[in-house]
Amino acid sequence: MSLSRLTQFIGWPVVTGLLLGFCIILWVNSDRNGEQKFSDKNFHIGNLSPSASNPNEWSGPISYSDAVDSAAPAVVNIYTRTKLKSRRHPLLDDPLFRHFFNNSDLPQQERMQSALGSGVIISTEGYLLTNNHVIEGADEILVLLQDGREAQATLIGTDPESDLAVLKIELDRLTAINLGDPANAHIGDVVLAIGNPFGVGQTVTQGIISATGRYGLGINTYENYIQTDAAINPGNSGGALIDARGNLLGINTAILDKTGFSVGIGFAIPADTAIRAMQDLVSYGQVVRGWLGIEAQQMTPELAMSFKLQSSTGVIITAIYNNSPAHKAGLRPGDIILRMNDIAVSDGRLSMMQVAQGRPGDEIEIEVLRNGEAMVVNATLGVKPSNN
């Protein structure tokens, strides 16, 4: 074989091998440079921590086990039993039936109905919070702790208007949950819901805060919910909504779905609201709220036009209770409330919440529009009569 043909035969494999080797060298160097680049950034995949010199980088734990370990022992399962009397057959009271069969005095039969929910231990003295609808009408309330202990609970008090109830159990070595700060919670914060869905046992679900200050849903009289997409299902009611550090943010209360199953829209009562209600129920047997004594209607564009107003903000007083704080302050039906304590009134239900968050005896400054003229009225909040 001639030299020229030999060179042609082995030339292409040699060139191909050299090119391949060159590519491998470039790839190895590139990979090493990439590793060095991540190392320079202090990028730790274990905890997803940001660089101290680059605080704008994202961060966050890959596990919330510490938060769950802290909060879960304070979340309990609640089981209730209610005695229901069976319906008495009309024939048992019929005179002819009584004459021939003489069994009209048969005792009325009873059956038991069971329900389940969740609760949160607030103090080591045994006080715990749950929802009113969890224990409403119950003849027997059983609390099961995470450590397997159980106890009969005593009902301390309920507040149906906010759907809260306070129970007490007599056990030692109780773990109380750490309280968070719902006022400083932000949309997008990671939250965990702990409860007993469908009675399967204590379960933790994870999501974020979807919204705050939700009201006007028609669920309860007083509404100021934290909305979350953490799964909340039947049995979760009364359980804990906690932050990523295990602090209580709210009491899980309701879901927005006609099927009764979670679709990512759940609501929790803020912890500060629930704690205040618990303190009132323990101290006074009822939740003490401020009361002004008016009935009001939301201002609409049509009403604003009839009053010759440029704006449809505010609420119009439609009725005033006799001897109420509003009556004593000189407010009248037809007055349009524009501001309360220098806060613009834009929604009637929100204004009702603002008044209710006050205490009897608190002074409130009300700016009203009467016959086209603005004026300021000072009122002292009272206590809502029990028959109203």
Q: Is 272 a catalytic residue?
A: no
Radius of gyration of the chain (CA): 33
Whether the CB-CB separation of 271 and 234 falls below 8 Å is answered with no
Q: Is 327 a catalytic residue?
A: no
Active-site residue, from 133, 162, 210, 243: 133
386 phi/psi in degrees, rounded to 5: -70, -20
Active-site residue, from 118, 210, 237, 351: 237
Question: Can you tell me the distance from the alpha carbon of 37 to that of 30, in angstroms, rounded to the nearest whole number?
Answer: 10
Burial (CB < 10 A; 0-12, 13-18, 19+), residue 260, is exposed
Instruction: From residue 311, give the alpha-carbon distance in Å to each of 343, 346, 350.
Output: 16, 11, 18
Question: Can you tell me the distance from the alpha carbon of 138 to that of 35, in angstroms, rounded to the nearest whole number?
Answer: 63
Residue spans of alpha helices (H) in the chain: 3-40, 65-71, 95-101, 132-135, 271-284, 301-306, 325-329, 348-356
- The DSSP-derived string for 216-260 is -SSSSSS--EEEE-S---TT-TT-EEEETTS-EEEEEEEE--TTS
Question: Can you tell me the distance from the alpha carbon of 161 to that of 363, in angstroms, rounded to the nearest whole number?
Answer: 24
Active-site residue, from 118, 159, 162, 163: 163
Q: Mark 86-106 as b/e (b = at least 16 C-beta within 10 Å).
A: eeeeeeeeeeeeeeeeeeeee
Question: Can you tell me the distance from the alpha carbon of 249 to that of 185, in angstroms, rounded to the nearest whole number?
Answer: 8
Whether the CB-CB separation of 252 and 240 falls below 8 Å is answered with yes
Strand-pair partners of 320: 294
Question: Can you tell me the distance from the alpha carbon of 347 to that of 285, in angstroms, rounded to the nearest whole number?
Answer: 30
Q: Is 237 a catalytic residue?
A: yes
Q: Tell me which residues are annotated as active site.
A: 133, 163, 237
